[in-house]
Amino acid sequence: MRVLLVGLMIGLISGALLGAMGYRTVRQWYLHPEAVMTLLQTNLAGLKGQQEAGQCVGQPLALRLFRLEAVSSEIVDAFLAPGAEDERFADLARKLEATVARLRMNPPTDCAGLERARAEIGQACKACHDLYRG
């Protein structure tokens, strides 16, 4: 009888622990996509702010582009649970990353250039949102 009770206790405790771990993992998956999109949005808005302030070249611009590129590279991991694959989605994420990478290596030299760069990035965001954002 005692053995049974001890066994039951161990079962209950480990069940609770595993459940809590699982909950945390799922919650992280759930939060990660929003976190990534928020960072993209923040940095794209940052570019707009710089343009409005007339700061269309230089270090702050490079930093925004660098961050946009880094976060773009994380979209697929954030959205697809391990094991899932969606080539079209991954392709659209890569397109955004490639667009930003090209702009980072060849940055705008004036405000008209920054305006074009923002439009190009916005297009790459929209291409995916049109298909995948509910």
Which tokens belong to 85?
């694959």
Within 10 A of 61 (CB to CB), how many other CB atoms are there? 21
Residue 34 touching ligand HEC (CB under 6 A): yes
Span near ligand HEC by CB under 6 A; candidates 12-20, 34-42, 48-56, 105-113:
34-42
The residue within the footprint of ligand HEC, chosen from 14, 25, 28, 41 (CB under 6 A), is 41
**CB-based burial of residue 96 (10 Å sphere; 0-12 exposed, 13-18 middle, 19+ buried)?**
buried
Residue 35 touching ligand HEC (CB under 6 A): no
Within 10 A of 97 (CB to CB), how many other CB atoms are there? 20
Phi, psi dihedral angles at 31 (to 5 degrees): -80, -30
Residue 132 touching ligand HEC (CB under 6 A): yes
Residue 80 touching ligand HEC (CB under 6 A): no
Per rule CB under 6 A, count of chain residues that contact ligand HEC: 19
CB of 10 to ligand HEC, least distance (A): 39
**What is the 8-class DSSP label of residue 58?**
S
**What is the rounded CA–CA span in Å between residue 115 and residue 131?**
25
- Tell me whether residue 96 or residue 114 sits nearer to ligand HEC (CB atom): 96
Binding site for ligand HEC (CB under 6 A): 33-34, 37, 40-41, 44, 75, 89, 92-93, 96, 121, 124-125, 128-129, 132-134
